[in-house]
Amino acid sequence: MPTYEYECTKCHNKFEVLQSMKDEPLKQCPKCNGPVRRLIGKGAGIIFKGSGFYATDYRSSNYTKRQQEENSSGTCSKKSDSDQCSGCKSSSAKKIKK
């Protein structure tokens, strides 16, 4: 549920209310019962909870198993020398200078 920010036009009290998108906007200030207007919010950051938000979370068990075998054996499954994988241990792998 989104949080909406309101401001009273009478006493200038600013307050936030957690409301459903289906709810009607508030009309009265909880402090002085004056009329309120809904402000345009600055938005909020998205909060990701739980698993499933990384590309590796969706990898199949076969893919993971094959990748571990390739990394441990030191061989690269790439077809050409110009395509280098990050787990390649061959002497033709490009080294990154820091």
Q: Quick one: pLDDT band at residue 87, thresholds 50, 70, 90?
A: low
Maximum separation of any 2 CA atoms in the chain, in Å: 76
Q: Is the pLDDT of residue 5 over 70?
A: yes
* Full-model pTM: 0.44
**Span 54-64, pLDDT tens digits:** 666 666 778 87
Sheet with 36-38, side-by-side order of all strands: 14-18, 3-8, 36-38
Residue 87: exposed, middle, or buried by beta-carbon count in 10 A (0-12, 13-18, 19+)? middle
Q: What are the chain's domains? A: 1-68 (2.20.28)
